[in-house]
């Protein structure tokens, strides 16, 4: 077999997401037969010592401390953005203009206006692009998509989603800086709406189609926090909790809830969908299981089935270990690389593309608008 064409990757950011992405690029070609061989060419971060040791640990051939140098490099095909949200637009637009493929951590922009400019840039340059909404590629979630597309649920009536955490309850937790930029509205764009609900919205649009309108309520429980970068106590601009009602274009009704104030929940990302014939439910805390109830089953045997999505005929699973053993969170990112590369070779781009990421940002913008106006808002309507 001849040597595969290389896909030379430059990752920007070495925090939590820099690690998940680096791991995924490394694992994907080991477990899946990819048309292109991902190569960890360079990683970029501002701190010379930290980025140096990150590069050595994860097997990068080189490192940069200025993302602009990375984007200019002729030996890099794909720029992967794993840095905080306020950097996404500038880097993505420059990378697209330099003719690079672009992958970007979620949410695509701090708001839909930024995301729209990012879509315009990748589409004008005609470069492959993708947003890392990783949970779509948990095998049980992909199986849910297959069951819905096969028509097993019939007409959908209800969609219920939650993403609950509890790590910001302490008033002593500061805002800003590495790790805590998610609490700084200027950097993050919003709080749980863009950080957590965006995951739920991306999955929901994928499984159940577009959202017609939303009615939302948000709250900031802790109004002031010390800022790590200024040392001063400053107002908190993010939403700590965000809940909304929605109507999908297919007529189904939904509730969505995200918070970082649900004591006891670390990453309870769940959805339940109720259709005419069947219902399905999923929970990230038990991510390889899909709950399925089918009313068409024989009456005396009818009940919720607990499908252990770890067999060879389940999505992605046969490429890992033996049936019945488990895979986890990190694998969702690896599957994203696999599908992105498959999209390059087939010519049919894998979703979520930047355009799909924009659709999610339009919904989260509408949620924040509705929380402010007290009115129903439509994702497309911007006044």
Q: How far apart are CA 178 and CA 56, in angstroms?
A: 21
Closer to ligand SOE by Cβ: residue 165 or 218: 165
Closer to ligand SOE by Cβ: residue 199 or 213: 199
User: Which residues ranging from 163 to 202 are in contact with ligand SOE (CB under 6 A)?
Assistant: 165, 195, 199
- Cβ of residue 203: shortest distance to ligand SOE, in angstroms? 11
- Cβ of residue 354: shortest distance to ligand SOE, in angstroms? 17
- Cβ of residue 54: shortest distance to ligand SOE, in angstroms? 18
- Cβ of residue 307: shortest distance to ligand SOE, in angstroms? 23
- Cβ of residue 274: shortest distance to ligand SOE, in angstroms? 25
Going by C-beta distance under 8 Å and a sequence separation of 6 or more, which residues neighbour residue 138? Answer: 282, 284, 287, 288, 331, 332
Q: How far apart are CA 103 and CA 95, in angstroms?
A: 10
- Residue 268 contacts ligand SOE per CB under 6 A: no
Helix (H), strand (E), coil (C) string for 106-146: CCCCCCHHHHHHHHHHHHHHCCCEEEECHHHHCHHHHHHHH
Residue with tokens 């979630």: 141
H or E segment at 358?
A: helix 354-373
- Residue 267 contacts ligand SOE per CB under 6 A: yes
Q: Are strands 36-44 and 62-64 parallel, antiparallel or unpaired?
A: parallel
Q: How far apart are CA 159 and CA 205, in angstroms?
A: 11
Question: Residue 300 in contact with residue 306, Cβ under 8 Å?
Answer: no
- Residue 228 contacts ligand SOE per CB under 6 A: no
Closer to ligand SOE by Cβ: residue 23 or 97: 23
Closer to ligand SOE by Cβ: residue 199 or 331: 199
- Cβ of residue 364: shortest distance to ligand SOE, in angstroms? 13
Q: C-alpha angle 155/157/163, rounded to 5°?
A: 125
User: Which residues ranging from 71 to 90 are in contact with ligand SOE (CB under 6 A)?
Assistant: none
User: Which residues ranging from 326 to 345 are in contact with ligand SOE (CB under 6 A)?
Assistant: none
Q: Are strands 156-164 and 253-259 parallel, antiparallel or unpaired?
A: parallel
Q: Judged by CB under 6 A, how many residues of this single chain contact ligand SOE? A: 4
Nearest residue to ligand SOE, using CB? Answer: 195
The residues that touch ligand SOE, with contacts defined as CB under 6 A, are 165, 195, 199, 267
């Amino acid at each position: 077999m001849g040597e595969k064409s290389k896909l030379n990757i430059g990752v920007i950011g070495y925090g939590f997401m820099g690690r998940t992405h680096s791991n995924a690029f490394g694992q994907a070609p080991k477990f899946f037969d990819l048309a292109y061989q991902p190569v960890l060419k360079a990683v970029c971060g501002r701190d010379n010592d930290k980025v140096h040791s990150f590069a050595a640990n994860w097997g990068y051939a080189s490192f940069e401390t200025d993302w602009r140098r990375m984007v200019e490099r002729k030996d890099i095909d794909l720029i992967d953005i794993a840095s905080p949200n306020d950097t996404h637009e500038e880097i993505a637009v420059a990378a697209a203009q330099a003719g690079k493929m672009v992958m970007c951590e979620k949410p695509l922009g701090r708001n839909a206006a930024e995301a729209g400019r990012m879509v315009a840039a990748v589409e004008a340059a005609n470069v492959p692009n993708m947003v890392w909404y990783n949970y779509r590629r948990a095998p049980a979630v992909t199986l849910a998509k297959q069951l819905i597309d096969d028509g097993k649920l019939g007409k959908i009536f209800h969609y219920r989603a939650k993403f609950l955490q509890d790590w910001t309850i302490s008033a002593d937790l500061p805002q800003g800086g590495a790790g805590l930029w998610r609490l700084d509205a200027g950097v993050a764009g919003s709080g749980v709406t863009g950080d957590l609900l965006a995951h739920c919205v991306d999955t929901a649009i994928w499984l159940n189609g577009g959202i017609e309108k939303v009615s939302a309520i948000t709250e900031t429980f802790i109004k002031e926090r010390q800022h790590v970068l200024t040392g001063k106590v400053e107002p908190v601009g993010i939403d700590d909790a965000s809940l909304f009602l929605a109507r999908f274009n297919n007529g189904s009704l939904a509730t969505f809830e995200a918070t970082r104030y649900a004591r006891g929940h670390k990453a309870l990302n769940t959805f339940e969908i109720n259709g005419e014939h069947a219902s399905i439910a999923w929970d990230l805390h038990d991510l390889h299981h899909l709950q399925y109830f089918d009313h068409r089953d024989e009456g005396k045997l009818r009940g919720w089935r607990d499908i252990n999505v770890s067999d060879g005929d389940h999505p992605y699973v046969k490429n890992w270990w033996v049936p019945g053993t488990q895979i986890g969170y990190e694998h969702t990112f690896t599957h994203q690389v696999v599908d992105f590369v498959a999209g390059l070779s087939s010519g049919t781009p894998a979703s979520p593309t930047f355009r799909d990421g924009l659709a999610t940002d339009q919904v989260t913008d509408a949620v924040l608008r509705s929380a402010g106006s007290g009115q129903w808002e439509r994702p497309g309507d911007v006044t």
